[in-house]
Amino acid sequence: MASLVIIEGPGKGACLPLNEPLVSVGRDDTCTFQVLDPLVSRKHLQVRTDAETGRHLAADYRSANGISVNDKLLVLEAGGPQRAAP
């Protein structure tokens, strides 16, 4: 099963399973996974599972610090999908 792993900060080592079609991560108590770290925005990111392909799609909620996947910062293309920065 796919999961998110916290690699730095107070929750370091925590594994967040992606076992729902849509999960949200942030400090806010309405998020699927609440991460109490000052570097995490109230609503930081969401991960959606594509029902047809089973792929997981991460989207930043325009958080102050962005999100990284496999040590690559994701950047938002104007009007397009997110991609890993070089």
- Indicate the pTM of the whole model: 0.77
pLDDT digit string, tens, across residues 4-56 = 888 888 888 988 888 999 999 999 999 999 999 998 999 998 998 988 988 88
Rounded to the nearest 5°, which phi and psi values hold at 49? -100, 125
Q: Per-residue pLDDT tens for 44-83?
A: 989 989 889 888 888 888 888 888 777 776 655 444 444 4
The DSSP secondary structure of 32-51, one letter per residue, reads SEE---TTS-SS-EEEEE-T
